[in-house]
Structure 1
Amino acid sequence: MSDDRTALPSYRLPALDQDFLLGDSMRGVRFLLEYAKAEEELRRWRIRSTVVVFGSARVREDGPGRQPFFYQQARRFGRIASERGGALGLGDGGVRDNVIATGGGPGLMEAANRGAFEVAAPSIGFNISLPHEQGPNLYTTPQLTFRFHYFAMRKMHLAMRANALVVFPGGFGTLDELFEILNLRATDKAQPVCIVLFDEAYWRSVINFRALVDHGMIDESECGLFQFADTAEDVWAKLIAGGLAVRA
């Protein structure tokens, strides 16, 4: 008598059963896997800390208006941080510090990764599965190019090693990431991290920080959680003045 029970889904090894792993009950397991996979590779590369760069995926090197300037300065900053911050080689503790980390996509993320690439430094791309705009750029280190389904886990990886956050002009996604970090800092759910917003005129035109204070929605002191800068060199100077640790 034939026995076809071994062909049924119930008989599959759970780790090899894609239908089971992608089911609703395994969402927590998938969340854990997204944490563990990236974490394992980052540790293999001995990356202790990062400098996170946010910015629009829609900015182009040859785009209209100030887009070329934003791209150029993000690219320049990627080079500066990689050359001066400790990403180029393992220090005395056998670790890399201040490695450029971005969302891994095009636009200003690409520009920052490109700057690191041009000085032969590793850089990280934390990509996310989206219907549009989000494919890995050509300048992230291949072994440090990750793909996430869950925004929350992607955000966690962007934040957990960050020594500094540099935010170039952007839209909803950039604002989301910026306010996530500001809220973590304002509520003391994250360690102090230097936050620099690039192009003061842009940020003051899209966010009325003064109105938030005047309406009692934030404290005056919370505006001290971030600074402004208008060139890549100025960004770096603000980070150093703000306490960014750089290996001698």
Structure 2
Amino acid sequence: MPRDPDPPNAAQMASPSYRLPMLDQDFLLGPSMRGVRFLVEFAKADEILRQWRIRSTIVVFGSARVREDGPGRQPSWYAEARRFGRIASERGGAFLDGEGLRDNVIATGGGPGIMEAANRGAADAGAASIGFNILLPFEQEPNAYSTPELTFRFHYFAMRKMHLAMRANALVVFPGGLGTFDELFEVLTLRQTGKAPAVPVVLVDEAFWRSVFNVDALLEAGMIAPLDRELLRFAEDAESAWRSLVAQGLAEVTVPATDPPKDI
């Protein structure tokens, strides 16, 4: 007699409850596992950054809409962001030092525009740089200049922001829109409330920033304290932005080390 193709326990073996939890995508993507997904998003990037011996970063924000050949001042902003990525990488310690650590590695949101320019500048210097991409309804693809092994993608904005902030030795912000403002004010609020170290924040192109963000009006209205105005410094180009960071205590490495072949 032919064997019954359906064993008596077929229904049990086919049940979703019988799947190994770690292989059950429906379960892992369910609402009860949101905390676990947060943990996984934190742990993956954290583990890789530790493997690459990245102790600290310089975060560069700015508009994804800026183009190297765009209208108005866009080409200048792009060029200065690219120049800053190179300067910071060459002078900040992005190459492995004698202790096998990297400091002030360029970190961006991983996308186009100013983010691309800063990652590109690091690549010009032959240094590693990080791209913290975010999954969006309209697909954001990583730019071609962040180090491939340091190009991440997050689902949760909160976890992406945490990784952008937690190793930052400084924040340099080029002209941008709502996303740039969101990231900037997040860091300013953390600094104002003492929830983050006193890392320097430099805004590039003072005329642009004063036209869209009136700090003095906030002060006059009593919305911020006089000391809060000191949270911000302004610069006009890559070199002056770097000098401002150094003047505020950022360590400068005068002669970059040479990275050995990657063995991690």
Of the candidates 51, 60, 67, which is equivalent to residue 60 of structure 1?
Answer: 67
After TM superposition, give the deviation of residue 102 of structure 1 in Å. Answer: 0.1
Partner in structure 1 of residue 191 of structure 2: 185
Matched, 1:225 2:231: yes
Partner in structure 2 of residue 49 of structure 1: 56
> CA separation in 2, counterparts of 1:2 and 1:176?
58
After TM superposition, give the deviation of residue 247 of structure 1 in Å. Answer: 4.2
After TM superposition, give the deviation of residue 133 of structure 1 in Å. Answer: 6.3
Moved more, 194-203 or 133-142: 133-142
1:188-227 equivalences in 2 (<5 Å) = 188-227=194-233
Matching residue's letter, 2:222? G
Partner in structure 1 of residue 132 of structure 2: 126
Give the paired residue count. Answer: 247
CA-to-partner distance for each residue in 1:85-112, whole Å, 9 max, x for gaps? 1112x21222000000000000000000
CA-to-partner distance for each residue in 1:20-76, whole Å, 9 max, x for gaps? 000011011001100000000000000000000000000000000000000000000
1:44-193 equivalences in 2 (<5 Å) = 44-88=51-95, 90-132=96-138, 134-193=140-199
Structure 1 unmatched ranges of 5 or more = none
Moved more, 65-74 or 129-138: 129-138
Partner in structure 1 of residue 36 of structure 2: 29
**4+ long deviations beyond 6 Å:** none
Structure 2 unmatched ranges of 5 or more = 1-6, 255-264
Residue aligned with 1:125, SS: strand
After TM superposition, give the deviation of residue 134 of structure 1 in Å. Answer: 2.2
CA-to-partner distance for each residue in 1:176-199, whole Å, 9 max, x for gaps? 000000000000000110110000
TM-score normalised by length of structure 2: 0.92
Identical pairs, percent: 70
Residue aligned with 2:70, SS: coil
> CA separation in 2, counterparts of 1:98 and 1:45?
13
Matching residue's letter, 2:151? T
Residue aligned with 2:107, SS: strand
Moved more, 114-123 or 129-138: 129-138
Structure (1 or 2) with the larger CA radius of gyration: 2
Partner in structure 2 of residue 246 of structure 1: 252
> CA separation in 1, counterparts of 2:190 and 2:249?
19
Tell me the C-alpha RMSD between the 2 structures.
Answer: 1.0
Alignment check: 8 A CA contact 1:196 1:227 kept:
yes
